[in-house]
Structure 1
């Protein structure tokens, strides 16, 4: 049977099983399902399938499995590595209709949600119920929780709450052949055999399609303290990190470092408010510190006293503490200005890497010098969540018709391997980093990944050519 005949037969079965509103073909395929945020060219999937529930996902997978048709799961399509792109001959399995909060269990401090639910919806529902969902990303309004889990998303509060997988107690997933694996566990302690949820968290839809999730909720913070500190060198930043961990303990929720190149652009070209305006000292780093507590009357004075001690001891040369919500937002605005870099560097190339914390500044210096030497005229900025080992790099060659991504990749990822880091800290591998996986994983690890893939998806139809 020809490929065309097979595709036609499969599409007819999908239409019969799910209905015409759930299967979009040809010109009816929406623009949003043709791409993600990777910057690659739009694709042309053979169809977009939009199930309304787990049974619909299972039916779609059974049909596609029987016909050997590749399936690419799609959530909010905010991914940066090409992991949600479905090409010709492939079905895009969109979870956009599978949204909603199914249950908030106050006794268990959990929330059960459909995988297509936007992260911000979950955050608001948790807040309304008197809890806190600490997972937070810039794309919170459009990213879907299923996609967050498929890439094991990080964000700004990893130093306190961990990656996305630490916030999940259970989930439901559909395998390549349509088998539904229901593991909607609500218990923190459950060591009855393998913890199967971890097969699907971080595997980018290559082992199964996440359909429902049990999220662990946390107490709602009763206080928030935010400060910006300047540092004369990286050693001071490391000392400050150590002092924050020991002095603030469980209150410490964010430790965001910005190198001078990033800081300069943020407070000039990107028009973020400079909290150190008037201080012309050439600092070598800046750090935004956030602490979340439960008692505003006790926590704020404690935070203030801790920071004043650092100033008095000469560990920190300059610092600003937010005294209002507007000032908190202004301080975070410097860190979040990275989202506006596209205005001054259209088409820039962004990187998300992980490194041993002690080696970060040495890597930054060497990477910046190598990029300037091997890609003459290249401009770069560096910033990140150093408390959890994550550095973000943005590189741009002004005037270039097309950014020299291959040359940039070779420097950035080549050095990552030299420093024993990872090519992906929180964004996943997708297609853009696939060739560099060996810089972060050993041959034995990659072989084991392939063994798992072959066992769960022997036909190789789930998100093919991604990750491995």
Structure 2
């Protein structure tokens, strides 16, 4: 630490009581939490990374409140960690020492639903599930869907550009946001809550904030693009010889169903055996063991959709692509099939210490990458087990690697997997974000020129580095 760094730390330490007093005067008891017990609850997210209890938790109730909070923190050079649902898996919502948390949990609710424009405007703190339900009550749908839909919020999904199981049909969050409002590091408000679909009047600034994980601004409101709601779907589970067969099934499914494919999920045999046979997390609906398991869901235009899937299975069987399969005949059977896939969110206790890699590669390279990872990990005594499950259609695999819990094991396994990923021209995170956990691995996915451009944008928009310090960038 050089003399300038020492002076900055000293200034921040001196400023801490002053900033808390200034915030308390503006927000009052309902808008700020300062007790150690309250602050401790906001220190960490679900990533497993342990943050430090913040100096205070600011709970604004309006855009003006967020602006005031940022202006005060900018004046005192105090770091601000944007938060609300704390469901992130990359440590993006964990608070470093000497920072305050700004939670948008009081900024919640649907502001407007425009059926004609097929848009919904919501506060950043609104749970994703609330938005989905409001859209469906209007006969529409907000297609972004993740397992943490009940606690994840619109602001959080925008900040991380959340993906989920319906990316194949509707794209990531970025593709479903029309307008945005955000508060900058100095408290300035950038607001374009537009419902306009075609707008080429200059830079589309909302894209700076989508996926920036709160490092460039704090999202406060958003206009979301809704889709037509198809209330019914048909779901089938296929047993295949290998991942290569899954890619052939994807091509065949696109030819038959087109844009009606809502989910195309893959489960490797190591994952299937773990959740269905080694634990009681899910129940297998298939006899025997197979090389790959595929879950496909399509929009049901009518009762003939189940027959379509049955005919599709017959074609796959005839082509020696599918070896077995089951078609869901009821809502309960659909839930049972989805439970196998969604059990990945419940494996932590049974799988023990592990690293959850959220990896993206070209869909055509996914099978080869996973085979290479298996070979690599088999030669590493630190790796005690691996399970793989993911989104076949978009090349995103969740690779979970068990280890003994030691820091040395984590370091060795991460270096090996991310090194392999760099060779395959992949992404170190596909949908969970970089946060603080993966910041040091960014150069395995991004070129020096790209990183320099990102850092330059960060320095321009947040020259003091107070917005979510430590997230995305290992060093600024």
- TM-score exceeds 0.5: yes
Stretch moving more, 136-145 or 30-39:
30-39
Stretch moving more, 343-352 or 199-208:
343-352
**Counterpart in the other structure of 2:3:** none
Shift of 1:122: 0.9
**Counterpart in the other structure of 2:284:** 274
DSSP 3-state at the match of 1:97: coil
**Counterpart in the other structure of 2:378:** 372
1:230, 1:4 → 2: CA distance? 60
Shift of 1:356: 1.6
Q: Pairwise CA RMSD of aligned residues?
A: 1.6
1:310, 1:269 → 2: CA distance? 29
Given that 2:46 and 2:87 are in contact with CA atoms closer than 8 Å, whether structure 1 keeps it comes out as yes
2:383, 2:401 → 1: CA distance? 10
Shift of 1:20: 2.5
DSSP 3-state at the match of 1:262: helix
Stretch moving more, 108-117 or 125-134:
125-134
Shift of 1:2: 4.1
1:86 counterpart = 2:95: yes
1:301, 1:167 → 2: CA distance? 32
Given that 2:12 and 2:76 are in contact with CA atoms closer than 8 Å, whether structure 1 keeps it comes out as no
User: Could you list the per-position Cα deviations for residues 226-257 of structure 1 after superposition, in whole angstroms to 9, with x for gaps in the alignment?
Assistant: 00111112221110011111111011011111
**Counterpart in the other structure of 2:412:** 407
- Match for residue 283 of structure 1 among 259, 278, 290: 290
**Counterpart in the other structure of 1:164:** 173
User: Could you list the per-position Cα deviations for residues 117-176 of structure 1 after superposition, in whole angstroms to 9, with x for gaps in the alignment?
Assistant: 111111111111211111111111111110111010000010001001111101100000
**Structure 1 runs (4+) greater than 6 angstroms displaced:** none
User: Could you list the per-position Cα deviations for residues 322-355 of structure 1 after superposition, in whole angstroms to 9, with x for gaps in the alignment?
Assistant: 1111111111111111122113123322110001
Shift of 1:376: 4.4
Shift of 1:116: 0.6
1:451 counterpart = 2:448: no
Stretch moving more, 102-111 or 33-42:
33-42
Unmatched 5+ residue regions in structure 2? 1-9
DSSP 3-state at the match of 1:29: helix
**Counterpart in the other structure of 2:468:** 463
DSSP 3-state at the match of 1:426: coil
1:151 counterpart = 2:160: yes
**Counterpart in the other structure of 1:347:** 353
TM-score normalised over the length of structure 1? 0.96
Unmatched 5+ residue regions in structure 1? none
- Match for residue 56 of structure 2 among 47, 52, 55: 47
**Counterpart in the other structure of 2:204:** 195
Shift of 1:312: 3.0
Distance 1:377 1:20, change over 3 A: closer
Equivalence map 1:224-235=2 (5 Å): 224-235=233-244
2:114, 2:191 → 1: CA distance? 18
Stretch moving more, 214-223 or 174-183:
214-223
User: Could you list the per-position Cα deviations for residues 296-318 of structure 1 after superposition, in whole angstroms to 9, with x for gaps in the alignment?
Assistant: 23433333323322223333222
DSSP 3-state at the match of 2:97: coil
- Match for residue 332 of structure 1 among 311, 335, 338: 338
1:57 counterpart = 2:66: yes
1:161, 1:296 → 2: CA distance? 21
Stretch moving more, 360-369 or 328-337:
360-369
Size of the aligned set, in residue pairs, is 463
1:253, 1:57 → 2: CA distance? 37
Given that 2:71 and 2:186 are in contact with CA atoms closer than 8 Å, whether structure 1 keeps it comes out as yes
- Match for residue 323 of structure 2 among 313, 317, 322: 317
**Counterpart in the other structure of 1:18:** 27
Stretch moving more, 2-11 or 89-98:
2-11
Shift of 1:404: 2.0
Given that 1:223 and 1:299 are in contact with CA atoms closer than 8 Å, whether structure 2 keeps it comes out as no
